[in-house]
Amino acid sequence: MAISLAKGQKINLKKNNGSDLTTFCVGANWGAIEKKGIFGTKKEAVDLDLSVGIFDNNKNLSEVIYFGNLKSSGIIHSGDDRTGDVDGDDGLDNEVIQINLGQIPANIENVVFVLNSYQGQDFATIPFASIRLYEGTPSRVNEIVATYNIASDGKFAGYVSMMLGKLYKRNGEWKFSAIGEPTRDAKLEDTLRTVGNVYL
């Protein structure tokens, strides 16, 4: 059964059967904004960007995986989704990061997942947004390990950027921590600077 994460919660990367989870996906899912007008309700596309900051054992930013740089050793981005779920939640994630822990270089100790609103749309206006860790591919979910609902939290009102969570290595073992913190940063590079200064 999938773990429903709370802010600050840390988990070991284990499957339901107790074996280690070494290849998995981290997906973000969000809905389009509904705006009511004279002629009914209109859906407004939401362009959120799921990105990854890769930090080495000296807490230096080694590489950024985002819609403009989709691949690194052990990490693959599914590509840019510029709309969100316009027709309601379809059960699949809009952007997915595929992780293979065995291929991540040995000097990397933190892999941080952040979400930015490309057009500056307030997170409070987005009807639903969540992340999850699961076994599978961007188009197929085999087993959900953990979920984290972020849109239901009122503290994200007025923000356009947030730290979702991070993979971190302790004593050679990878774990996941749900951060769930908004930032005042408007750009990805500023968000990752905040990550490096505050959350590692």
Question: Quick check: helix, strand or coil at residue 168?
Answer: strand
Mean pLDDT across the stretch 135-144?
Answer: 90
Going by the DSSP 8-state scheme, the letter that residue 156 receives in this structure is: G
The domains of the chain, with CATH numbers, are 3-198 (2.60.60.30)
Question: Quick check: helix, strand or coil at residue 125?
Answer: helix
The DSSP annotation for 180-200 comes to: EEEES--SHHHHHHHHHHH--
| Res. 67: pLDDT tops 80 | yes
Is residue 135 within 8 Å of 142, Cβ to Cβ? yes
| Res. 117: pLDDT tops 80 | yes
For residue 152, the model assigns a pLDDT of 58
| Predicted confidence band of residue 196 (pLDDT cuts 50, 70, 90) | very high
Tell me: the pLDDT tens digits for 87-104?
A: 766 777 999 999 999 999
How many other C-beta atoms can be found within 10 angstroms of the C-beta atom of residue 191? 23
| Res. 69: pLDDT tops 90 | yes
**Quick one: how many helices (H) and strands (E) in the chain?**
1, 15
Structure tokens at 66: 């985002």
- Partnered with residue 144 across adjacent β-strands are 134
